[in-house]
Amino acid sequence: MLIFIENQFLKMDWLYNLTTFILKSIGIDLGSNFGGSLHFFIYDVIKITILLCTLIFLISYIQSYFSPQKSKKILVKFKGIKANIMSALLGTVTPFCSCSSIPLFMGFTSSGLPLGVTFSFLISSPMVDLGSLVILTSIFGFKIAVAYVIAGLIIAVIGGFAIEKLKMEKYVESFIKNSNALNLKEESLTWQRRVEFAKNQVISTFKKVFKYILIGVAIGSIIHNYIPTKYIEDFLGNQNLFSVILATLAGVPIYADIFGTIPIAEALLDKGAYLGTVLAFMMAITTLSLPSLIMLKQVIKPKLLILFVGICIIGIVIVGYLFNVYQLVFL
């Protein structure tokens, strides 16, 4: 039953077969580079769009129960590493990209929450939201998706805990410390208003990310059908000892979210790239995109920013190599 659900509702085998039937009916040769790319593009765009809109609605409805004020009330009840764990878990039901997470990070920090706790949230939020679990399951399967989410949560918890122990509070800009962003009256929402909030989030998020989905799927279709397997294996395969480091560094300048990144990862994996290398690439894009680092630089000082980037890169690289070593367990 679980396999049926995964194949038909997440991987959407019915859509794959329907796309194949339609393209063949109009005379498209799916064995050609063009035909294979067209099939990849149409199938992935439709599948990701359906999952995207469904997930945003469901997650946004859940998110409506976790306002910044309520999240703060939850987090202040925990101390030490338990607070980091809870903060990382809360990050899974909040925004889908790092740039959207930064305003919440600022609010949590200004409200007096421990800095390490807020950084656990900042790492977790874009890297391992609930949407990534479902989308990853739809392409890579449940085991890989769960392993990815667990790895991301571990990075978020350890990264935030390390920042807390290093006592980096003095490297937060003073205007953040003096702000009272979360000292607002909490509003109780009816279920109708929660549905309206979720619907508006679908529209808003879709407008922001759809272009990245198109770009990501287009790149993925080219990789999948035009780039020889040998090139991918040489550059990102296990025989290249630096593949994880290269993939991590290559992901940093790219601005995208999990929805635009997964089609590229799917194509790379199909072409012979190793699982850990591909996941490291995805984690770097979603967590360390250049635009988000530029935004973050406005609220924390360079020393703390460098520490944050360094912790994330080290964590991502370690996870990448571990996944490469144990790839046979997951595939």
* Tens of pLDDT, residues 224-254: 888 877 777 777 776 778 889 988 888 877 7
For 284-327, how does the pLDDT look when each residue is reduced to its tens digit (9 = 90+)?
Answer: 887 887 777 887 888 888 999 999 999 999 999 998 998 888 77
The residue-averaged pLDDT of 57-84 equals 80
What is the spatial distance between Cα 301 and Cα 173, in angstroms, rounded to a whole number? 7
In which band, very low, low, confident or very high, does the pLDDT at 42 lie, cut at 50, 70 and 90?
A: very high
What is the spatial distance between Cα 110 and Cα 178, in angstroms, rounded to a whole number? 7
> Looking at the predicted structure, is the pLDDT value of residue 9 above 80?
no
Name the percent of the chain lying above pLDDT 70.
86
- Give the pLDDT confidence score for residue 184 in this predicted structure: 44
In which band, very low, low, confident or very high, does the pLDDT at 4 lie, cut at 50, 70 and 90?
A: low
> Looking at the predicted structure, is the pLDDT value of residue 13 above 60?
yes
The residue-averaged pLDDT of 103-117 equals 80
Please tell me which residue, 51 or 39, carries the higher pLDDT value: 39
What is the spatial distance between Cα 50 and Cα 230, in angstroms, rounded to a whole number? 33
Show the CA angle centred on residue 92, arms to residues 90 and 97, nearest 5°: 120
- Give the pLDDT confidence score for residue 204 in this predicted structure: 83
**Rounded-to-10 torsion of CA 208, 273, 290, 222:** -50
Please tell me which residue, 331 or 262, carries the higher pLDDT value: 262
For 46-58, how does the pLDDT look when each residue is reduced to its tens digit (9 = 90+)?
Answer: 988 888 788 778 8
- Give the pLDDT confidence score for residue 182 in this predicted structure: 46
Considering its fold, how many domains does the chain have in total? 1
> Looking at the predicted structure, is the pLDDT value of residue 104 above 80?
no
Domain limits at 206?
Answer: 2-330
- Give the pLDDT confidence score for residue 35 in this predicted structure: 92
- Give which of 316, 307, 168, 159 is closest to 252, Cα–Cα: 316
What is the spatial distance between Cα 53 and Cα 43, in angstroms, rounded to a whole number? 16
Residue type, 205: T
DSSP-derived 3-state class of residue 300: strand
> Looking at the predicted structure, is the pLDDT value of residue 183 above 50?
no
Stated pTM of the model: 0.77
How many Cβ atoms are within 10 Å of 176's Cβ, its own excluded?
16
Q: Which residues contact 223 (CB under 8 A, 6 or more apart)?
A: 232, 264, 267, 268, 271
8 Å CB contact between 74 and 83: no
How confident is the prediction for the chain on average, in pLDDT?
81
